A and B are shown apart, each in its own frame.
Chain A
């Protein structure tokens, strides 16, 4: 029973930060500078999500994550579809850990 209550509490704790912006953005008009900051959020978030987290793919060997990431950069640079970029990176890590 306690576990169910914890789950409900966690559910609310994840819903609030997700839901509040929907109502906030409904109400306000943004200054251009703030609009630019929000336009930059996806790129900043991607950066923060990629590094240094990628080094933990194989926790004891951070270099494997880095190499997998560099292969992904290369494949994406040559214009491959995201699915192929992902598959290429998986194969790279698989080969390096075998």
Chain B
């Protein structure tokens, strides 16, 4: 099969393979869009209310592309917090992406750095979750287009959603936008459950991370650090739990 794929290397077939991968990425990334749009709209409204201009709030989405940090940033700007304080808080809140991207970059070992660098910049909790649970594409030809498409869907939904939110204000009824708050959690569950069905130990890793995260929150840790601790210790349990899986 693999040599067959290599032989069909006319540029025509290669570009259609890229197109195929890209389309698959768009489809797989669609649930992220469903989850991002209501949050981005809410961010746009909130940032506008906290005194940011339309340009500033959209620029923040373009350059920062991190939901939780942007909500926090807009709030801190509104209360007149210092720039250094805001930047440090952002770094702490996003440190979990360091851990996630170590894993994602390990998955993308066969992909050249010129691709890995821009893909890294598009890493969020959601793009990571979807990409990491579709690891088989990393080994396929033109698989990079698959991941690029997932990130592009997420990025465009986020940027355009915040622009529209800043422009039009609350356009989704509160009851609906509140209900759509479950979308990303449901997506995480929808990604996790099939893996647990295949290998129950994966579910154990997730539960360990959940409980540790909850414990850290109970102990008064900020949610950013609690997720980091839960993820790292959960992942360390994988050293033992995933032992037999390795061929």
CB within 8 Å of B: which residues of A?
2-26, 30, 32-54, 57-58, 65, 68-69, 72-73, 75-77, 79-83, 85-94, 97-98
Contacts and interface: CB of A to CB of B under 8 A. Distances in A.
A24 to B, nearest CB: 7
Interface stretch (B3-11, B17-25, B121-129, B136-144): B121-129
B182 A90 contact: yes
Contacts of B206: 43-44, 46-47, 50
Nearest 5 CB-CB pairings of A with B: A40-B238, A44-B234, A47-B206, A89-B186, A48-B230
Nearest to B213: A48
B105 interface: yes
Given A45-B234, A52-B213, 18 more contacts: A7-B64, A7-B73, A9-B90, A17-B101, A22-B117, A24-B102, A26-B113, A32-B246, A40-B234, A41-B103, A43-B234, A44-B233, A46-B192, A48-B210, A76-B189, A83-B30, A83-B34, A86-B187
A23 to B, nearest CB: 8
A14 B65 contact: yes
Nearest to A78: B193
Contacts of A14: 64-66, 69, 90-91, 94, 97
Interface residues of B, number: 100
A90 B238 CA distance: 32
B239 A36 contact: yes
A33 B102 contact: no
Contacts of B64: 7, 10-11, 14
B210 A50 contact: yes
A13 B97 CA distance: 11
B178 A58 contact: yes
Contacts of B60: 7, 10
Given A15-B121, A50-B185, A10 B73 contact: yes
B191 A46 contact: yes
Contacts of B35: 86
What secondary structure prevails in chain A residues at the interface with B? helix
Interface stretch (B80-88, B154-162, B163-171): B80-88
A83 B238 CA distance: 28
B41 interface: no
Contact of A18 (B77, B86, B121, B175): B121
